[in-house]
Amino acid sequence: MSPAAGSPGGGTPVTLTGSNFTQATAVRFGPNFALSYTVVSATQITAVAPAGSGTVQITVTTPGGTSNGVAFGYAAAPALTGISPATGPATGGTTVTLTGTNLLGATVVRFGAVNATSFTVVSATQITAVAPPGSGTVQVTATTPGGTSNGVSYSYVAVAVPVLTAVSPGQGPVGGGNTVTLTGSGFTGVTAVRFGSTPASSFTVVSATQITAVAPPGSGTVQVTATTPGGTSNGVSYSYVAVAVPVLTAVSPGQGPVGGGNVVTLTGSGLTGVTAVNFGSTPALSFTVVSATQITAVAPPGAAGPVQITVTGPGGTSNGVTYFYVGVPTLTGATPAQGPTSGGTTVTLTGTNLLGATAVRFGAVNATSFTVVSATQITAVAPSGSGTVQITAVTPGGTSNGVPYTYVPTPVLTGLSPAQGPLDAGTTVTLFGSGLTTTSSVLFGSTPASFTIVSDTWATAIAPSGPAGPVNVQVRTPGGSSNSVVYTRVGPPGI
């Protein structure tokens, strides 16, 4: 039989083929009689299917009996829910995607009263169809054994033919692969970009006036064209030339901060016409082709670690040169954290990412000298200064946070009381002066004494034992050693 399916509402004409159909008295679709039937010959009957559902067996009854059954399916009516795109040129040719339900077995797709140029049933929920020429807004329908669907609107519009005005660069390597920029008008909806008769390797419609395309391999001079639903543009000339692949030999500096923004100089050959500079897969923030052997580029942000810098020109993409993204240095401590105003104290700085340090500063003043011990340690000699300043370290990764360092003034002694005492230890001596707060030791000659800091101008010390006579008393602080004041040991009186 043909067709093998029909609408649940009935009315589908079905042709049955077989034998011994003469004098047929009934045609049934399952238990239901055909709405009508005609015996065409002993081998053919045409019948109109009644309403039904599911799959039923069609049988023919004659005076000789009832035939075997052949399966007939009642197909659900198709329904359309969407069309994309919903517009296209009056000349037709646009491929549209119809979505809906019960689309299997579609026999016709119509744009208004006109059949689609062609169509493909993708699944029960999708059909692709090529729009025929037309005008205005029409209803697109799909017909299946289950019937004809509802319509979805499709509008024919006047689409301008695209126009190309320029291609940049206008030449590239015979191996293709370089990106060119097409400028012009009417680029919306571009479906193809061709270099001569060869499609571009890929293309992107940036706007109605700009397209970027990757040139395919080729030779000689070809015409680049763009095609939209409005037609195919004029051509602009593009030449395939034997262009050397650029070569990089060095980058300076070879490292920089993870935040990017630093300027590096690339040297090599064949750099004329370079169209891209990449740090790994990330484009440089900007670049300038200085000459055929030099490019300056601004590094983009990146993750700590090495990346390969490459450049792309008409001849292709260069080899890579290694560039290191360096983490921003941090300081966690300074030991000692204070020293004399005259400077000269060796300070050990601890932190992270300290390799490659180019400067250590005490406030705004550079350290007298410094040594990078490791990624976590620097030793630096403090310059002269005053007050409390922030020590910072500068590396290719940037400038660190600051850690405090205090300049301590040299202590001064103005007097002591009492100025003499016995030979034995134990006399409490009060020292007067300034800069005594950070006193680290009190010396009677070369002998240390125990002491107590009372204030910046006052300290007490227990005089140690010693021989009779005068002895110089000094205090020492991170700011240095004070002047001396004299304390005299007096022996017991003789008899």
Per-residue pLDDT of the chain (495 residues; tens, 9 = 90+): 888 888 888 888 999 999 999 999 999 999 999 999 999 999 999 999 999 988 999 999 999 999 999 999 888 889 999 999 898 888 888 899 999 999 988 999 999 999 999 999 999 999 999 999 999 999 999 998 888 999 999 998 877 789 999 999 888 888 888 889 999 998 988 989 999 999 999 999 999 999 999 999 999 999 999 988 777 899 999 998 877 789 999 999 999 999 899 999 999 998 988 989 999 999 999 999 999 999 999 999 999 889 999 998 877 789 999 999 988 999 999 999 999 999 999 999 999 999 889 999 999 999 999 999 999 999 999 999 999 999 999 998 889 999 999 999 999 999 999 999 999 999 999 999 999 999 999 999 999 999 999 999 999 999 999 999 999 999 999 988 999 999 999 988 765
Give the model's pLDDT for residue 494: 66
Give the model's pLDDT for residue 121: 96
Q: Measure the CA–CA gap between 357 and 378, rounded to whole angstroms.
A: 9
Cβ contacts of 182 within 8 Å, gap of 6 or more: 164, 166, 167, 193, 210, 211, 212, 213, 224, 226, 236
- Count of beta carbons in the 10 Å neighbourhood of residue 273: 17
Greatest extent of the chain over all pairs of C-alpha atoms, in Å: 172
Q: Determine if the pTM surpasses 0.75.
A: no
All domains of the chain in start order, with CATH: 5-74 (2.60.40.10), 79-157 (2.60.40.10), 163-241 (2.60.40.10), 247-326 (2.60.40.10), 330-408 (2.60.40.10), 412-490 (2.60.40.10)
Angle formed at CA 408 by CA 404 and CA 411, multiple of 5 degrees:
165
Tell me which residue of 234, 299, 233, 226 sits closest to 266, measured CA to CA.
Answer: 299
Q: Are strands 338-340 and 403-408 parallel, antiparallel or unpaired?
A: parallel
294, 311 Cβ separation under 8 angstroms: no
Token pair 């707060």 in the structure block, residue:
437
Cβ contacts of 439 within 8 Å, gap of 6 or more: 411, 451, 453, 459, 475, 476, 477
Give the model's pLDDT for residue 31: 95
Give the model's pLDDT for residue 365: 97
Q: Measure the CA–CA gap between 18 and 65, rounded to whole angstroms.
A: 14
Give the model's pLDDT for residue 272: 86
Give the model's pLDDT for residue 24: 95
